[in-house]
Amino acid sequence: MSKFEHYPRRFWTSSRALRAGRRGTDNHSMSNRSISRRPKTQNEWQRRIARAEELCAQYSFAGEILRFYLVIARFQENFYEELGRSFERSSAGAGRVDSEPFRRPLHPELTNRFESFLSVVEQNGPDQLREAARELQDGGDDSHFQLLKVFWNGTETGPLPPGPHDFFACAFLQPYAAGIRSRSSVRWSGPTPYRCPFCKRKPGLGVLRPLGDGGQRSLVCSFCLAEWEFRRIVCPGCGEENPAKLPVYTAEELKHVRVEGCDSCRSYIKTVDLTKSGLAEPIVDEMASIPLDLWAQKQGYAKLQCNLLQL
Ligand SMILES: [Zn+2]
Ligand SMILES: [Zn+2]
């Protein structure tokens, strides 16, 4: 039995212990519980914000992380709405849906709001990010566009290493990515795409949604937040299909979040189990269940893709 002692963090310093995980494999059926839904009038960012506020009060171990996430998510929500209005203006009359929006070069105009994003982080972020925000503010618009472009082209030129720059670019561009993804006409074929069918990035988490007596598994993109179905007993890192090599771990305190490991490639991904908690918002619950990351990493697993807060 292991203890969760410290966050596996790049920016975060708090620590808090949780009790250990337990081991099993994913070959049992699960009960299908009733799901209570949030008001439909909320958009996806509003639902995440509401959930993060809820969990802030419940999970003291994730308070610091969730408070910062709330600041970021509120910025993202405003930016998302703003971009939505400008998409509507620009597509009005054109009647065209884009089939490859992620292959288009990034528009320099997007940089206009980056400065205000840096200020938000400079005022609310953990020390290392505040400092990085100040340095970026000194750099000016050209260097900002350069950074965003490097991130945007990352699937062709290689991703930015995890760290402050990756965080700034990903968090800032995410509402734009989600916006163009939801308006695109991209369709995919093939049974199990290992990368996001839209932006080609790695999945950041999994979701189990109620289906019959069990759960339908899907993956969620770490950038544009697309969700796509994925076979339940397959490693999204290497394609391993042997159930004996795909252990699932859960902790008593966070029953609805599973650590899904792979003993072939030693990667793991966390999956939010909506058959156990219909109130969960996968992206927020994944982020809040930080003690599970430390636990998994102590067992020698490496996260397939770090989340927005670089955890
Ligand atoms: Zn994507
Ligand atoms: Zn694997």
69-121 tens-digit pLDDT:
999 999 999 999 999 998 888 865 454 567 788 989 999 999 999 999 999 99
CA separation for the pair 288, 27 (Å, rounded)? 26
Looking at residue 235, its pLDDT comes to 97
**134 CA to centre of ligand 2 in angstroms:** 39
**198 CA to centre of ligand 1 in angstroms:** 5
Kind of pairing between the strands at 302-303 and 267-273: parallel
Residue 281 has pLDDT above 60, yes or no: yes
Residue 19 has pLDDT above 50, yes or no: no
**262 CA to centre of ligand 2 in angstroms:** 5
Confidence of residue 41 (pLDDT cuts 50, 70, 90): confident
Residue 187 has pLDDT above 80, yes or no: no
**263 CA to centre of ligand 2 in angstroms:** 7
**20 CA to centre of ligand 1 in angstroms:** 33
**3 CA to centre of ligand 2 in angstroms:** 25
In Å, what is the CA distance from 278 to each residue of 35, 41, 212, 237? 5, 18, 15, 27
Q: Which ligand is nearest to the CA of 264?
A: 2
* The overall pTM is greater than 0.85: yes
Q: Which ligand is nearest to the CA of 222?
A: 1
Q: Are 34 and 267 in contact (CB under 8 A)?
A: no
**179 CA to centre of ligand 2 in angstroms:** 31
**63 CA to centre of ligand 1 in angstroms:** 28
Q: Which ligand is nearest to the CA of 268?
A: 2
Q: Are 66 and 56 in contact (CB under 8 A)?
A: yes
**19 CA to centre of ligand 1 in angstroms:** 34
For the CA atoms of 160, 163, 169, 175, the dihedral, rounded to the nearest 10 degrees, stands at: 110
Confidence of residue 191 (pLDDT cuts 50, 70, 90): low
